[in-house]
Amino acid sequence: MTNDANTSSFAHISTGLIHHPYTPPAGFDAPQPGVFKASTVYFPTVADMRQREWKDKSAYTYGLHGTPTTYLLEERLCSLEGGLQCVLVPSGLAALALVALAVLKTGDEVLIPDNAYGPNKALADGELRHFGITHRFYDPMDPQDLSRQINERTRLVWLEAPGSVSMEFPDLPEMVRRCRERGVLCALDNTWGAGLAFNAFDLLGDGAGGEGSLAVDISAHALTKYPSGGGDVLMGSVITRDAALHLQIKLCHMRLGLGVAANDAETVLRSLPSIALRYAAHDQTARALAAWWQVHPQCAQLMHPAFAGAPGHAHWQALCDREPGTGQAAGLFSVMIDARFSQAQVDAFCDGLKLFKIGYSWGGPVSLVVPYDISSMRQAWPGHLKPGTLVRFSTGLESAQDLILDLHQAVQAHLPMA
């Protein structure tokens, strides 16, 4: 086809540019999928418009309901996590909120682990409470406490493995079993495992979806972290293996008007091929740094689930390290800085780091550090945590050797033992 397109029949070039007849040849194939951007999606006829279905991904109706770009990302995320259906939302927190809004109603109760991602607790204490949905916090390390707190109003149990800041790894299969026994939905914040450290839909390793396999009902994932990998995109996903539950979440998603931008979806699609390699690299670096901390007396307690003595280490081994020595963990760990050091000294240590930047989130190329005030985050100081000031490290993709030199200089300067 020549470029002598028949646009001259219009009174003005604008019309010609908008209704331009050229269509590029089909069959373009390249490593990266195309980016489809749309609010409006065309229908060839009114009849087609009336009958088109988007809920089963068989067609397209409106940008908010899905495009080739978002469908592709959803399917790849299902493969990553072992799920069957996926909904994309604009942030990890939006994934947690969507789950709550989709499955809870006035009079219901939601149970949340006491070490959960803070904003999930804030959502329960804010909007959910205003909607007449109550919540309670349970001890993530005590399955009996979870059982005790489940009552006839409990509709949803949140799980997190490990807890966001204090990094306790719970007995996840046992928690899920107890939810199953009581017929309560369980949703996992799967951001740490990322679909790589363990399979949330196959907790016993006997085949996802198989007869008798143990699975969470819902996996919520902050794609902002490892799936993005860049520290530059906010996105979340809600993955299920149950068509009816997915539809319930999908309809709520539609009514709330949640959607993600095509360019952001494309960024995550571009990062997914390297997620397993990056996860392993972040893991290796985090363990090198954690091992460094472990022999330094400034560290009163190391919180990294792959280290002996860390809270829930045995549960991490059972779930993630079935073939000993092969287990994976995210590049995230916390150190309880000995109580002899003041908050001001710990702050100065964080400020004194050069390669580690001070900032929230994780999963990107740059190492991050944040001091946390545990006493303001928990119902009570957990018995398994030593006194002190907690500092969380998220390792980026820098060399472990350079990061250790950075830790060394900041410890020498700001946390003297003498």
Ligand X SMILES: *Cc1c(COP(=O)(O)O)cnc(C)c1O
Q: Which residues bind ligand X (CB under 6 A)?
A: 91-93, 117, 164, 189, 191, 222, 224-225, 234, 236, 361
Which residue lies nearest ligand X, judged by its C-beta? 92
10 Å Cβ neighbour count for 300? 18
Residue 118 or 132: the one with the smaller Cβ distance to ligand X is 118
Residue 227 or residue 415: which is nearer to ligand X going by CB? 227
297, two tokens: 């007396």
- Could you tell me the two tokens for 356? 């580690």
Whole-Å CA distances, 1 to 14, 23, 356: 22, 9, 56
Q: Which is nearer to ligand X, 222 or 411 (CB)?
A: 222
Cα–Cα distance measured from residue 283 to residue 130, given in angstroms and rounded to the nearest whole number: 40
To the nearest 10°, report the CA torsion of 11, 13, 17, 23.
70
Cβ proximity to ligand X, 93 vs 98, nearer residue: 93
How many other CB atoms sit within 10 Å of the CB of residue 278?
A: 21
Q: Write b or e for each residue in 78-111: b if 16 or more Cβ atoms lie within 10 A of its Cβ, otherwise e.
A: bebbbbbbbbbbbbbbbbbbbbbbbbbeeebbbb
Residue pair 313/161 in contact (Cβ under 8 Å)? The answer is: no
Q: Which two tokens stand for residue 92?
A: 């990890």
92 or 388: CB nearest ligand X: 92
What whole-number distance in Å separates Cα of residue 307 and Cα of residue 287? Answer: 8
CB of residue 156 to ligand X, shortest distance in Å: 16
Cβ distance to ligand X smaller for residue 41 or 195: 195
**Whole-number minimum distance, CB 3 to ligand X, in Å?**
45
